[in-house]
Structure 1
Amino acid sequence: MTSFIGFIVAIIVLSVLSGVVQGNKKKRKRSTGKRHTTVKKSNTQITSTTFNRSSITCRADDVLLKTPLDQINGAEFERLLSLYFRDQGYIVKEVGIGGKDGGVDLVIVDKRGEKTAVQAKCYADHNKVQVMTIRELVGAKRNHDCILSLLVTTSDLTADAKREAEQFKVDYWHGGLVENKLRAWGKWQPAKTKVKQRKVASTTVKTVTVICGCGAPMVERKNKDGKAFWGCSDYPSCRKTKAM
């Protein structure tokens, strides 16, 4: 009986040991089956670019007041207009910073409490405001509870955009009008661009005076064949000649 019990205990011990060994083997297989992946991060370098109108960066106010309109971007143009309207007695809310304006860049409120939605477009002269911009402004002014709407651009509007503006009573300032208003304001004093002047070489023409033997000056004459010669100016008193 005792031997039988010992036999059973031995079987149980062996089964336990075999299970432990198999478990260790499975763990080793799992650990060796894992692949370690390394992710390489690429370092992106931000390089300085040349001036572009679509940039959302904005220089200091004192710099903008000395910068021509063709040297500022969209965000700076909005900021310059906000400074102008504040000095005209408006309460100004800048809602279009960062380019996410939804059709309105500034909301200005006059002394009577009337709100105007302002859309600013800083374009080059050849790039005119399209009709879609007018439609966006008309729809967006309601979102800001504005009664009036104003489009201000450094360039101009297309013919279709002007008709659309007149139809929906959208006031607009083109580039020439904007510059006149800013100059009349007095605080905007852009640096004058130097104009290179071409130096024109002065040419001096030397006149040759031929003196006759009699002391009188000689003048150019022509014979019957059309050939030029020098003849005395006292002709016919003096008939002296000289070849050219």
Structure 2
Amino acid sequence: MKEIIWFVIGVVTLSVIAGLLQPSKKKKKRRNSNSKKRTTKKPVNTEFNRASSSCRSDEVILTLPLDKMTGVEFERLLTLYFRDNGYTVKEVGVGGKDGGVDLVITDKRGEKTAVQAKCYADHNKVQVMTVRELVGAKRNHDCILSLIVTTSDLTGPARKEADQFKVDYWHGGLVDNKLRSWGKWTPSNRKVKTTTTKKDQSSSKTVSNINCSCGASMVKRKNKAGAEFWGCSSYPTCRKTKAI
């Protein structure tokens, strides 16, 4: 009889314990399901990726400002520019496997130039290694000349290296000037100063026949003291001046 009583007590005890444990399991399952739902949400990256390998159509590229182009689109823009200026262009670096050369341009005399294009932000300058890669890689394409085209500039050591190995280079101000002179590149969101005075408008029309070392024309300007001087028209990208 005692054995039966202890057996009944044991069954009741086990059922009570099981009842207490069940809600906690359900809570754990709910917590786990909620945590899974929370972790599945991924933030959407809406920032412009300059390093993207995507390339929009030529019509779109011709309306894009340089800071809204990917590296591939900048190379394509240069291809269109050089072709319109009488060069035969071979797009070597399509897909990112350029080996130090993006374009090989050939003039009417048959002279080949290896071109390395760098679509960089202003603070990101071309390093020495890029110059060295271009010097070594141009031989693989039977090129005599070499050219670096960048939307920013070269570092000081990179400029010295380029001068030493006779590598020509176009910095951001010169690139912008050449593309605008071409006429087909018309960036849609070009910033226009709306607060210029009549004095500014009259002085900006006074353009000299003198060219800046960057290739842009010189414009007559005035300093704070009222003295006139020649300043580069691509200011503030280029800040070079000359006395009148």
Both structures adopt the same fold (TM-score exceeding 0.5):
yes
1:120 aligned residue (113, 117, 121): 117
State how far apart, in whole Å, the 1-side matches of 2:193 and 2:75 are.
32
Q: 1:141 to 1:191 in 2, by over 3 A?
A: same
1:154 aligned residue (148, 151, 171): 151
- Equivalent residue for 2:50? 53
1:194 shift after superposition: 5.9
DSSP-derived class of the 2:178 partner: helix
1:192 shift after superposition: 2.9
Q: 1:195 to 1:100 in 2, by over 3 A?
A: same
> Which residue identity is paired with 2:157?
D
- Between 51-60 and 77-86, the greater mean CA deviation after superposition: 51-60
1:139 shift after superposition: 0.1
Count of residue pairs the alignment pairs up: 155
DSSP-derived class of the 1:192 partner: coil
1:49 shift after superposition: 4.5
- Equivalent residue for 1:39? none
Indicate the RMSD between aligned Cα atoms, in angstroms: 2.1
State how far apart, in whole Å, the 1-side matches of 2:194 and 2:81 are.
34
Q: 1:197 to 1:150 in 2, by over 3 A?
A: closer
Q: Judging by fraction of residues, say which structure has more helix.
A: 2
1:196 shift after superposition: 10
1:50 shift after superposition: 2.8
- Equivalent residue for 1:137? 134
Q: 1:103 to 1:194 in 2, by over 3 A?
A: closer
DSSP-derived class of the 1:54 partner: coil
State how far apart, in whole Å, the 1-side matches of 2:121 and 2:193 are.
23
State how far apart, in whole Å, the 2-side matches of 1:73 and 1:141 are.
24
**Structure 1: segments with no counterpart, 5+ residues:** 1-44, 199-244
- Equivalent residue for 2:101? 104
1:98 shift after superposition: 1.0
DSSP-derived class of the 2:90 partner: strand
1:109 shift after superposition: 0.3
- Equivalent residue for 2:62? 65
8 Å Cα contact 2:65/2:190 also seen in 1: no
- Equivalent residue for 1:232? none
1:71 shift after superposition: 0.6
- Equivalent residue for 1:176? 173
State how far apart, in whole Å, the 1-side matches of 2:158 and 2:124 are.
13
- Equivalent residue for 1:27? none
State how far apart, in whole Å, the 1-side matches of 2:138 and 2:120 are.
22
> Which residue identity is paired with 1:172?
Y
State how far apart, in whole Å, the 2-side matches of 1:196 and 1:145 are.
46
8 Å Cα contact 2:62/2:186 also seen in 1: yes
DSSP-derived class of the 2:134 partner: helix
Which whole-Å deviations, capped at 9, do the CAs of 1:138-169 have from their partners, x for residues lacking one?
Answer: 00000000000000000000000000000000
State how far apart, in whole Å, the 1-side matches of 2:146 and 2:106 are.
12
**Structure 2: segments with no counterpart, 5+ residues:** 1-41, 196-244
Which whole-Å deviations, capped at 9, do the CAs of 1:23-79 have from their partners, x for residues lacking one?
Answer: xxxxxxxxxxxxxxxxxxxxxx9x775311111100000111111001101000000
Q: 1:92 to 1:195 in 2, by over 3 A?
A: closer
Structure 2 length as normaliser, TM-score?
Answer: 0.60
DSSP-derived class of the 2:64 partner: coil
Q: 1:109 to 1:193 in 2, by over 3 A?
A: closer
Runs of 4+ aligned structure 1 residues displaced above 2 Å come to 47-50, 192-198
State how far apart, in whole Å, the 2-side matches of 1:105 and 1:151 are.
10
